[in-house]
Amino acid sequence: MRTLQGIPASPGIASGPAFVFLDDEEPMIPRYAVTGRELDGEWDRFVVAVGKAKDDVKAMRDRATREMGQEHAAIFDAHLLMLDDPEVHDAIEVSLRSSLLNIEWIVFQYEQAIVQRLEGLGDPVLQERSVDVHDITKRILNHLMLKERFSLADLASDVVLIAKNLLPSDMISMNRQRVKAIVMDAGGKTSHTAILARAFEIPAVLGLGGGARSIKNDDVVIVDGTTGDVRVEPDVQTFERYGRLRERMAERELDLASIAEMPATTLDGKDVLIQANIEVPEETESVLRHGATGIGLFRSEFLFLQPGRAPSEEAQYAAYSRVLESMAGLPVTIRTLDVGGDKVVPDLSVFEEKNPLLGWRAIRYCLSDMDLFQSQLRALLRASVHGDARIMFPMISGPVELDQAIAALEVAKLECRKRHQAFREDLPVGIMIEVPSAALIADILATRVDFFSIGTNDLIQYTIAVDRGNEKVAYLHEPFHPAVLRLIKRVIDDGHAAGIPVSMCGEMASDPFAAVVLLGLGLDAFSMSAVSVPDVKRTIRSISFAEAQTVALEALRLTSHQETETFLARRLADRVFRSE
């Protein structure tokens, strides 16, 4: 058994065979069962792929002959002979027909066996031949897989997904019933893979920084998304221990489920709003089950990450309406498109920028693609009649940008009126405070909007200059950094001075210790992954507002995040349970 340690990114324990996806250096080889009837088709695919590989090699041989002379073309003749070798063809066909697995996997296994044999002979000349074998196999596999990325939607059996990095679009399109856990080299707690894993209630350990590379297809893996431990090829005792742990977690979940129905009220009677973040409409069931009383952030961009074209106005209208209707009158804050940065939308445009996190992202992108923005705004306005909708702009960095966004909304309203489409005239409009410049002029911005929502994932990223998805600097993404706490206090105070409510939808809101500090600072609403709602609700119910204020004052006085962590652990340990 081997143990790897990463960043605990989505709680829970799960196990299963590893499925290694998208290694940059080696293509991911799909492995799936085929039926007896499909065997001839698989074999035909092999014959066609070999034919194409031969065409490639012949073209390279002709070019080498032309440019460098006949003697340099000899290697390609050797490759052609290998591609035509009847013994190899026979061995692959026998293996295909006896194992009933797809042809890519058979070819890959055959290569592994040959390479191992050649390397085991200890003859340097034969060892070099293994490079040729690899080269030819890669060529055949490229044709077999059409050089396309395997879609995680096609997963046919339960797996633990192992990857170097997953795009948000991979996460959105994958077969969620089949992915039991995720292990990834890149990523931190607030990366989008982490956010989506929590949303889908899939245990995840991220930021292994190369460790995931050592896991092979079909290795048995146990993932503990609560502690960040990954066990590869565990022994029986370990398996049993995790079985018991899983049972205890299930009991704890039942305990927490009983909190779902209770109000989020402090010991001295202050009511707090606990809401949930969602990324796809289907999550509303989980939101209600976990006892959230509204949606504080609907990340609309994930609608745009589905494979295919950007959604039409009608498709968006249907999605927003569905969420509002499912929430049955509870508030739902829908954020306008936040693409760019690490949220790359394959079909929307080219996001190849040197510095994407500081680039063409979110509101900046929307303001430059008015057709797209207007269609989203109209869809939002029209959906607003189906519930208690609010609209929120992401990544606002200053007043001019905010004015432009508000003006765009007015244009969308005019168009709806022209089309006789109903919408809520008094639809509240708010902004994310997630750029330090916005936090520093919160007093100016507060006079132009109906609410603030602090996005600490980005606010921390931009304040401390730490890429939230980069595992190497994940230790710096620290909510209790004094600079972050001061900015948060400022935003809450400025919002309240202008008479508007301030909520938080960054992941910081889901940490029970942070929740006490935020409560004490006067935060009005907390929004987080649905799975975190019961823990935070229990925290709010276990403390008085007066005590939280004292705790917050002390936290603000401390001079480093370690001091704050130690102070909170000492002060709250007897009442506030933190699972990591």
Looking at the annotation, which residues are catalytic? 192, 505
Among candidate residues 200, 194, 206, the one with its CA nearest the CA of residue 230: 206
Q: Is 455 in the site for Mg ion (CB under 5 A)?
A: yes
CA–CA separation, 242 and 227 (whole Å): 12
The one-letter amino acid at 144: L
The structure tokens listed for 340 are 């760019």
* 299 lies in the binding site for ligand PEP (CB under 6 A): yes
CB 482 within 8 A of CB 429: no
Q: Which residue has the tokens 């705790």?
A: 551
Q: Is residue 10 a contact point for ligand PEP (CB under 6 A)?
A: no
Shortest Cβ distance from residue 195 to Mg ion (Å)?
A: 10
* Residue 505 binding: pick among Mg ion, ligand PEP, none (C-beta 5-8 Å cut-off by kind): ligand PEP
Nearer to ligand PEP, 27 or 356 (CB): 356
Per-residue tokens: 456: 């600490």
CA–CA dist 91, 514 (Å, integer):
61
User: Residue 305 carries which side chain, given as an amino acid letter?
Assistant: L
Q: How far is the CB of 428 from Mg ion (least distance, A)?
A: 20
Does the footprint of ligand PEP cover residue 189 (CB under 6 A)? no
Q: What is residue 86's three-state secondary structure?
A: helix
Distance CA 89, CA 98 (A): 14
Binding partner selected for residue 299 from ligand PEP, Mg ion, none, CB under the kind-specific 5 to 8 Å limit: ligand PEP
Check binding of 339 to ligand PEP (CB under 6 A): no
Residue span 443-482 as binding mask against ligand PEP, x where in contact by CB under 6 A, dash where not:
------------xxxx------------------------
What's the min distance (Å) between Cβ of 211 and ligand PEP?
25
**CA within 13 Å, CB half, 143:** 20
Residue 458 in the binding site for Mg ion (CB under 5 A): yes
Compute the least distance from the CB of residue 182 to ligand PEP, in Å: 18
CB closer to ligand PEP out of 102 and 457: 457
Which pair of tokens denotes residue 127?
Answer: 């060892």
Candidates 53-61, 96-104, 403-411, 456-464: pick the segment binding Mg ion (CB under 5 A): 456-464
300 binds ligand PEP (CB under 6 A): no
Structure tokens that stand for 40 in this block: 């001839």
547 binds Mg ion (CB under 5 A): no
Q: Is 279 in the site for Mg ion (CB under 5 A)?
A: no
The residues that bridge with 7 in the sheet, in sequence order, are 206
Residue 329 per-residue DSSP state: T
Looking at 124-236, which runs of residues are DSSP E strands?
159-163, 179-184, 204-206, 220-224, 229-232
User: Do the Cβ atoms of 506 and 458 come closer than 8 Å?
Assistant: yes
CB atoms within 10 A of CB 430: 22
Residue nearest to Mg ion (CB): 458
Length of the chain in terms of residues written: 580
Site for Mg ion in 413-442 (CB under 5 A): 434
Give, as ranges, the residues between 120 and 139 that touch ligand PEP (CB under 6 A): none
Number of residues counted as binding Mg ion (CB under 5 A):
3
- For 97, what's the count of Cα atoms within 13 Å in the CB-facing half-sphere? 8
State both tokens at 440: 């520093």
**223: which DSSP letter?**
E
Smallest gap, in angstroms, from Cβ of residue 362 to ligand PEP?
8
Smallest separation, CB 324 to Mg ion (Å): 22
With H, G, I as helix, E, B as strand and everything else as coil, classify residue 211. helix
In whole angstroms, the minimum distance from the beta carbon of 455 to ligand PEP comes to 3
Pick from 160, 221, 324, 505: which binds ligand PEP (CB under 6 A)? 505
Q: Which is nearer to ligand PEP, 104 or 338 (CB)?
A: 338
Residue 506 binds which entry of ligand PEP, Mg ion, none, CB below 5-8 Å type-dependent: ligand PEP
Rounded distance between C-alpha atoms, residue 152 and residue 528, angstroms: 26
Q: Which does 481 bind (CB under 5 to 8 A by kind): ligand PEP, Mg ion, none?
A: none
Sites for Mg ion among residues 94-123 (CB under 5 A): none
- Exactly one of 30, 281, 506, 520 binds ligand PEP (CB under 6 A); that residue is 506
Among 42, 104, 338, 401, binds ligand PEP (CB under 6 A): 338
Q: Where are the alpha helices (DSSP H) in 69-123?
A: 74-84, 86-99, 103-120
Query: Tell me, what DSSP letter sits at residue 498?
Result: T
Q: Supply the minimum distance, in Å, between the C-beta of residue 252 and Mg ion.
A: 30
Residues at the site binding ligand PEP, with contacts judged by CB under 6 A: 297, 299, 338, 434, 455-458, 505-506
